[in-house]
Amino acid sequence: MNYRKVGKWGLKISELSLGSWITFGNQLDIAGAKEIVREAFKSGINFFDTAEAYANGMAEAMLGDILKEFKRSDIVVSTKIFWGGNGPNDRGLSRKHLLEGIWASLKRLQLDYVDIVYCHRPDPEVPIEETVMAMDYIVRNGLALYWGTSEWSAEELEEAHKVCEKLNCIHPVVEQPQYNMLVRERVEKEYLPIYEKYGMGLTTWSPLASGVLTGKYNNGIPENSRLAKFPNLRKHLEEKGMLGEKVFEKLRKLQKIADQLDAKLSQLALAWCLLNPNVSSVILGVTSIEQLHENLKAIEIKEKLSQDVIDEIKEILEDE
């Protein structure tokens, strides 16, 4: 396993990491989750990502219970604050929710601090000063070692860094955007000045586009698949055109490349994310040991990708 720095900063995380979205507390119970976390750690994964929103806090509680068996400095744990409940002050990036949120997360995680706390989304309703100062409070009080953002625009990040500079607050060091073969704009274009000016790293989610990049939806939604279980997700993907014939055609072409590499399409898709040097870690969502190992092989596949193959993939992806 390679460990990459989070942008220009000193924290080092495994290039493949383990998320808990949708899986922990949903498809996985505590026994299943424990088995996967142990195997992930054994395989070199040191970064474990969760959020207060995942399974309404149960993902944090499960992860916390599992992580107790590891040495604290051996692991990098992150959580995200934004959706904490239904009360008027239970969501968003107000000082009240950020502080009450992280206090509650740390209790569920049974930790004194997380390594990274993310603002799970931007909150246009709250002045950026309020959010920046609350995150600064969290880091300066040792509740988190670093802070980051998730799905913020480059403009919002710019603004945050400027406020940090003005108020002498601690800067965010990492963004967590969606990034995969089908969703590339933000990571590959919009954020370019952010990497250079502020040295932010990326921990990316949905590397398989909710499973679309496994090719398993090319011929319809199989029973028991994630999209069958989460109709909202299906609807969302449909709206984004990600379940359309145009996409499936690309996937069939990519499948051929994968075949030539003796790889699964999903492995090719993960390998492709790893090629981006601005990506610090690709967060995996897995529901079994087998799937974990399958995904981990993406690292080997990445090594096999020649410039020619990379160019070919690019052409397929950009073909209108």
> So which residues are the catalytic ones?
54
Identify whether the C-beta of residue 128 lies closer than 8 Å to the C-beta of residue 167.
no
Is residue 9 a contact point for a second copy (CB under 8 A)? Answer: yes
144-203 positions binding a second copy, by CB under 8 A: 145-146, 167-168, 170, 199
Is residue 90 a contact point for a second copy (CB under 8 A)? Answer: yes
CA dist., res. 213 & res. 199, Å (int)? 29
201-260 positions binding a second copy, by CB under 8 A: none
Nearer to a second copy, 145 or 271 (CB): 145
Nearer to a second copy, 94 or 176 (CB): 94
Among 38, 58, 65, 133, binds a second copy (CB under 8 A): 133
CA dist., res. 220 & res. 292, Å (int)? 24
Is residue 3 a contact point for a second copy (CB under 8 A)? Answer: yes
Can you state the percent helix, strand and coil of the chain, rounding each to 5?
50, 15, 35
Closest residue by Cα to residue 63 from 26, 96, 24 = 24
Is residue 57 a contact point for a second copy (CB under 8 A)? Answer: no
Closest residue by Cα to residue 289 from 36, 52, 3 = 36
Nearer to a second copy, 83 or 272 (CB): 83
Identify whether the C-beta of residue 279 lies closer than 8 Å to the C-beta of residue 271.
no
Read off φ and ψ for residue 306, nearest 5 degrees: -80, 165
Q: Which residues bind a second copy (CB under 8 A)?
A: 3, 5, 8-14, 46, 71-74, 76, 84-85, 87-90, 92-97, 99-100, 104, 115, 123, 125-127, 130-131, 133, 137, 140-142, 145-146, 167-168, 170, 199
